[in-house]
Chain A
Amino acid sequence: MAFVKVNELIKNYGSFCAVDGLSFEVEEGEIFGLLGPNGAGKSTTINMITTLDEQNSGSVCINGFDTVKQRGEVRKIIGTVPQDIALYPFLTAIENVKFFASLYGLKGKELEQKARRALEFTGLSEHADSKAKKMSGGMQRRLNIACGIAHEPKLIVMDEPTVGVDAQSREHILNSIKLLRDKGTTVLYTSHYMHEVEEICDRMAIIDHGRMVAQGTENELVSMITDNKTIIVTTRFPLGFDRDGFVETLKLLPDVNNVKCEDNTVRLDVRLTSSDFSYIIDEIRKFSLPLNAVQSTVPDLDAVFLALTGHELR
């Protein structure tokens, strides 16, 4: 059974439909990326998943609990890391973490231990007694995460948790999220940074105008816009080399859809499903051509995202 089950979710604000029949499922222990341009309905969806808002129709179930009918049960098992830093500036790091964790019923030694563990997890142990307002942006982001995970929720909803942080903090945060997943926590993750989603998400969904545009693994999404990957071979063609014959020979190879020769570069469009292309290299070698470089590229998530949601500014 899916840990998060979003079914035909609809949310209207007056005549504006923010979420329009959205459905997706998140399995237990996976990192699921929710992608979409600004105003696509990501935050509205997250607000309904986290019980902050109610849908007009459809349902959201977390671990079998309905977010409207069994709100209390849902709240016990979720943690959130909001996009905006939600901390009390005059409280110290440990006090912030303990305060939010205490709202989930943690007390005494258990509260202290879990709060310390959350700070350690986010690399803030040394700053436990620093006031939140005195911390750098990156540290506040990490503290923001610590506050959302200290009570060890089964589902963590992270809404762009790495906005405005430096590369070191981002790396730490992403590694932490992967660690959470490895421990069995389910993570629902939104971000505008495609490489982040590529790096950590097991599966993802792209939504736009409140509707599901695509969902699946990265490869599945890429395959939606193209079924090719490109192999680029850099060589040096001798004078009088029969390029046309060479191209025709390569085109006859299995899974090769197209071949182009430009200067000293050969570009082969190969079916995405094939992973072993050594036979292509062997064939090129038969022409006694030197292999200066061999490169394989697939369209990245950015390209998929733009292809599915368009290039116009939002």
Chain B
Amino acid sequence: MQIFLKEVKEFFRDPAAVFMCLFFPMLMVLILGSFLQQLDISDYGIENIKLHYTAQNSDVLNTTAFEMFLSEADILEAEKSTDTESSRRMVQNGELTALVTLNGSDIELYCGDNGVSNRALSSIFNSYQQMSAIYKSILRSDPSALRNIEFADIGGSDTFVEREGLGVTRSMMDYYAVAILVMMLFFSSIGSSDSVREEKSRHTIFRVLIAPKRRTRVFAATILGKLPEFIVMIFATMVFSAVICGARYCDDILGNLMLILMYLTVSAALISIGYLIGLLINIPGPSVCLPVCWTMLFFSGSFAKPVVIEGLSGYLPPYIIQEASFSLTLFNDYSGALSVTLCSFVIFAVCMSVSALIFSKKNFLK
């Protein structure tokens, strides 16, 4: 208990440690939060997308349905192309967003340079094709079903259904808050890899070792004494990102408690790994742990999503923890979080036992 309390006191009185564990994550959340809030307010309104369309090898039903869809879509300004070559040139000159060709039941897009509009068009026409496929399927099996549709129910001003409980508004901040937390857990735990060296350089370890206490107990208390700082870091970052930057985690208390428990066991596992590394190597732990952590986080998409590598990233611990977090916060799915918590606890127990064994036998004078 004395060692545990000493560790806690030391942390809260060390300005550098408090900054690293408490204010640095908040700062990251604040900076990224305001940046992402700006990103969420798009300066490009996806509306009035001008396009020309033409139909080839398409029957009347298909063409009529397609034209009806184009006329109903508010954000599209569609005109039938009279000269496809001329329309292509207009797309190239930026006068049109796209030339859409209905070829049989396929839709071909000839797009310009506007990536945002292009993505929007792709989504719109993908949806259209899916809906068409459904209607065609119904037509083939039971055409009479279509006749019973009350056309008054279709169209109008209601373009989508919004119902309480279904329409949780998510922002980029929700993803980045989790990514930052995972990143901070990894980086903060690096410090523990140097705890042994720090105690040795301050010579306090020798005083502790010659006291009539079992070394395994000394070791366990030291590791457990590091956990409160992680609890504070996790809690402060979550509250701060939620209150100041509007990040959303789970919608219920139980989910958030599960999230905190998962992060805490992950912290414990990381601390014990850091401590084990610190005991095994005689060079500063961070010089080994930092590049490894950074690389794992980089390829887990914590810094940027595009660097995720299929077949590799999915096996990296930060990626798995992030995925479990998202499953819990977005879909209320506890399975990933429970698995991560359990695995982390096993890693913690194993590393702790091995480290305690090494700690009890190690000659720190060397």
Contacts and interface: CB of A to CB of B under 8 A. Distances in A.
State whether these chains interact. Answer: yes
B9 A95 contact: yes
Interface stretch (B52-60, B149-157, B208-216, B330-338): B208-216
Interface string A41-66: 00000010011110000000000000
B243 interface: no
Interface stretch (A1-9, A71-79, A303-311): A71-79
A106 to B, nearest CB: 10
A102 B365 contact: no
Interface stretch (B21-29, B199-207, B287-295): B199-207
Given A72-B212, A88-B10, A100 B207 contact: yes
Interface string A87-105: 1111100010001101111
A216 interface: no
B6 A53 contact: no
Given A53-B363, A90-B10, A95-B9, A80 B202 contact: no
Contact of A86 (B9, B203, B363): B203
Size class of the A contact interface (CB-based, 8 Å): 20 to 34
Nearest to A131: B13
Interface residues of B, number: 20
A131 B10 CA distance: 11
B207 A90 contact: no
Contacts of B207: 80, 82, 86, 100, 103, 147-148
A95 B6 CA distance: 9
A99 B212 CA distance: 13
A85 interface: yes
A86 B202 contact: yes
Contact of B208 (A84, A90, A103): A103
B212 A50 contact: no
A148 B211 CA distance: 11
Contacts, number: 63
Contacts of A148: 207
B202 A78 contact: no
Contacts of B13: 90-91, 131
- DSSP majority for the A interface? loop
A47 B363 CA distance: 11
A75 B204 contact: no
B202 A52 contact: no
B210 A78 contact: yes
B212 A86 contact: no
Nearest to A85: B203
A99 B203 contact: no
A249 to B, nearest CB: 63
A82 B203 contact: yes
B204 A86 contact: yes
A39 to B, nearest CB: 15
Given A87-B202, A88-B202, A75 B210 contact: yes
Contacts of B364: 52
B2 interface: yes
Contacts of B365: 47, 52-53
Interface string B111-138: 0000000000000000000000000000
A303 B14 CA distance: 48
Interface of B: 2, 6, 9-10, 13-14, 202-204, 206-213, 363-365
Which 7 A-B residue pairings sit nearest by Cβ, starting from the closest?
A103-B211, A86-B203, A90-B13, A75-B212, A102-B2, A84-B203, A86-B204
